[in-house]
Structure formats: structure tokens, C-alpha cells
Structure 1
Amino acid sequence: MLTGKQKRFLRAEAHHLTPIFQVGKGGVNENMITQIKEALEVRELIKVAILQNNNDDKHQVAEDLAAGAGAELVQLIGHTVVLYKESRENKTIKLP
């Protein structure tokens, strides 16, 4: 569980990132979860965009992504989700 200070730090780190995944009208699926897990292992911090044609609740989509990937939900702003998971091999982000 991240503290408020850690979330604030991660939000600042994620500000310049562009979303590398998109959740469309197909919703969240196993293939997407697997790819997000792999990306989190390499990058630790990623953004995911929820497209306008997705009919699911954006808060539920964010929770599903975080739970499926075993990651922390840092932020949901607009239709953009920020996820963080500490990497085992490529640890680059040092939390305060």
C-alpha cells in the first residue's frame, strides 16, 4: 500500500509519460493483463488510456487493471490510469 507522499511522488514521475495501452470496447481481458504485467516489470510506472467507446465504468476498469496486474493504482484522472508495481529485476524508481 502506497502512502500519500509516495503517490504524490509517482504522480509527478508519471506526468511526462504517454499511455502505452488502451482499453477499448472489448474491455479488460487476460491478454491485456499479461502485457501490462510485462510492461510493469520493465518500466515500473505506466499509463493506460480508457477510450471513449468503452462502456464500462472507468473506476471499475482501473480497479480491474490494478488487481489483475497485481499493481498499485496511483491515479485515475479523466480517462487515464496510472499504475505502479515495483520491479524485481529492473528497479529504477526509488520511493520516498
Structure 2
Amino acid sequence: MIAFLAHYLASLLDPIAMVLCAWLGFLFKHLWKGAAIGALAYVALILLMPGIHMIAIILISKLFAGATFGLMGAALGRWLRPSPKLETPDA
């Protein structure tokens, strides 16, 4: 558990992954879609980097960190984008 927490907290310090996952999460209005795309983007980013050995604890911590960034981006997108206004009929 301590190894997972250490890798998770270290993953939260990656600025490239933070921007990429938050931007992808920003594109979706649903929080779970933002979390899913953020998690997948972080794992894809890690797989492109040579020299990182994928063991289960690292993969899971990267998935959770990507989901965290995706959730932050999706929440920011919901907050910044205006919601559609309901039109009322004129009397």
C-alpha cells in the first residue's frame, strides 16, 4: 500500500500528464468519461516512454493518477462551459 501511495503521489507531479489528461477530461461533460479518458491517456503516455518497467503497482497508480487529472479537467469543463438555457414561451 505504501508503494502504491508513493507511486501515485509521484505521478501527480508529472506536468505533461497533468496537462494532457486534464485537457482530455475538459472535452467531456460527464465526469466518468473524463476520468476514463484521463486514465487511458496517462497509461498510453507511460507506455511511450522507454525504460519504465510496467508492473502492476505502477500501472494501477498511473491509472488512478490519470483518472484524478481527468476528473479535474472534466469538473473544470463543467464549471467553465455555460449550460444551455431553457427557453420560456412568451406570454
* Max Rg structure: 2
Greater relative contact order (CA < 8 Å, ≥ 6 in sequence): 2
TM-score, length basis structure 1: 0.33
Q: Which has the higher strand share?
A: 1
Q: Which has the higher helix share?
A: 2
